Amino acid sequence: MESPVQQYLQAIADACASTDGAVAGYIPELAAADPDRFAMCLATVDGQVYRVGDASHRYSIQSISKPFTYALALQDLGVEAVTAKVGVEPSGDAFNEISLAPGTGRPRNPMINAGAITAASLVDGTDGADRFDRVLAWYGRFAGRELAVDEAVYTSELATAHRNRGLAHLLREFDILTGDPEEVLDQYIRQCAISVDTRDLALMAATLANGGVHPRGGEPVLEPGVVERVLSVMTTCGMYDAAGDWVSSVGMPAKSGVSGAIIGVLPGQVGVAVFSPRLDGHGNSSRGVTLFERMSTDMEMHLMHVSRGSRSAVRNAYSLAEGLSRSRRRPAEQDTLARVADRAMVYELHGDLLFAGAEAIVRTVVEDDPELAVFDFSHVNEIAMVSRRTLVALRDRMREQDALAVVVDPEGVLPDPDAGTDRATRYFPDVPAAIAWCEDELLSRYGGDVAAHDPVADHPLLALLDDEQCSAVQAVMHESSYRAGEVVLAAGGAFAGVHLIVEGSASARATGRDGRSVTLVVMGAGTSFGELALGTGDVQETEIVADSDLRLLVLPADRLERLTREQPALALAVWQAIARDGYRVADRALRRGAVHQHQG
């Protein structure tokens, strides 16, 4: 099953196609780029990468290198030493403007060229070549693979780097650079020519989103405090003289490069990279800006969006083979469910469901590919609009493949947009009710001849008796009936015999700690109740209530006692059947309890 997240990214890529802008013309190698090439990747903080377009096409990293070199300088020297050489204030100028603080010559921030050249000089190393080797290995840790320089881009850019050469010498004049400016310039041009693809950039952004820990493998790359400073500077300075528009319309830390790429970071959730070589008047990818604006709106990615801010996750996921319902079913039905129960899954969710949480749910369901899915929102506090749309899309995608999703939502945090129509989703008050529905649905789909049964003859108490024994037991049973809602057995009463359900259903109920009635077991035709009192000192500990009009066959306690005295061989067979059925019920309860213990 294709992920709705993948479908969404493809849809907005198609909707935001554009021919506005032109490729960077001042570097010959960039001027030769295919203007219509496109790629977009979204990487989550736990390592999932979604790709659209030519995500493996490689190009030079250009100015997207700047925040990562700045991060390395900060990690090498510390904030105070780096800030003495390069500030953090937005310049309001284009990326290649001569923007130095009056008097000191200090570049205003590390995202413009003057500041980036300075940051490159601050990386620890014996010379420019040594510093560059450290930078190359550093970028590779963020990308998760070894990177290399595009020598053609390097040679082309170095030959036309007249303005950057002037900046380097001006920085040396103010003693911002203390070494050979040509050596630093060469190092800077090389770092801009490092070859990456869009997947690399998405993972580099996701490493920042993950607090400096690489999403795949969990390697700590950057200290969290440094991550905060880098993301802050990216937010205010990363898009040059369009930074104000970017923060207002997109609202996430970002960095662009003149090769046509943009990275964006949504802390705690995702890293996004877009590549499209046509640039706008600010030197940013025209299509990339449009796509980020669309994603920010659709996915509520703006940093100023008011939400509870926590990431939601799948609290627990288990199949019906592990988490059984409270329904007592006949052996033939149990055999069928044992064969197909893993086709149905329960997903228990919690927290505030932002995009990252919805994506995690979608990915889990796509990987499991269940035929039936129960989504439990009992522990969810808040759901972002993008998450609502994503989950509805997941439901629709499941329906296309003849799979069904149902919802447990006692607090009403996820209203059904299709309520009242034939596309409405089934909602249940609790997980046991939803699981019972799933079991019924599986039995309907795979039960075969299970549906055709004799609720009396097929009952575990009678099924293993021979015809003569079965007739003898039925002869001492009597029929009884109850209306829906009537109490059949009151809690605290004495053992009243074995009650076999012929038609209808009943529930065993107890009083919870809050004083409210709690349904423990739901029982349908072909099952029985009352006999468990034999294991509790002959006292009926639960209340049995008719859920619907109920018809019973009852083997009263006094007749069972008389049968034991007068026909011991027959009574032994009956007692053995009661014991077998009791063990079966106990096994189901233990397995269900194990699942709930794991949930806690």
- The strand ranges marked E within 397-505 are 404-408, 427-428, 478-482, 487-489, 498-503
CA distance 472 to 93: 98
Residue from 45, 66, 156, 276 carrying the catalytic annotation: 66
For 318, the enclosing helix (H) or strand (E) is strand 313-319
| Upper half-sphere CA count for residue 127 (Cβ side, 13 Å) | 5
Residue from 188, 347, 427, 482 carrying the catalytic annotation: 188
Contact 542, 511 (CB under 8 A): no
In terms of Cα–Cα distance, which of 163, 112, 120 is closest to 139? 120
Buried b (16+ CB within 10 A) or exposed e, 223-238: eeebbebbbebbbbbb
For 28, the enclosing helix (H) or strand (E) is helix 28-31
258 catalytic, yes or no?
Answer: yes
Residue from 50, 70, 240, 427 carrying the catalytic annotation: 240
> Helix, strand or coil for residue 596?
helix
49 catalytic, yes or no?
Answer: no
Distances (CA, A) of 181 to 100, 110, 114, 130, 453: 16, 17, 12, 15, 90
CA distance 439 to 216: 38
Residue from 63, 121, 286, 325 carrying the catalytic annotation: 63
Locate 267 and state its tokens.
């802390």
Q: Dihedral, CA atoms, 394, 399, 401, 402, nearest 10 degrees? A: 140
In terms of Cα–Cα distance, which of 28, 13, 16 is closest to 60? 28
66 catalytic, yes or no?
Answer: yes
Residue from 258, 362, 374, 545 carrying the catalytic annotation: 258
Catalytic site residues? 63, 66, 188, 240, 258
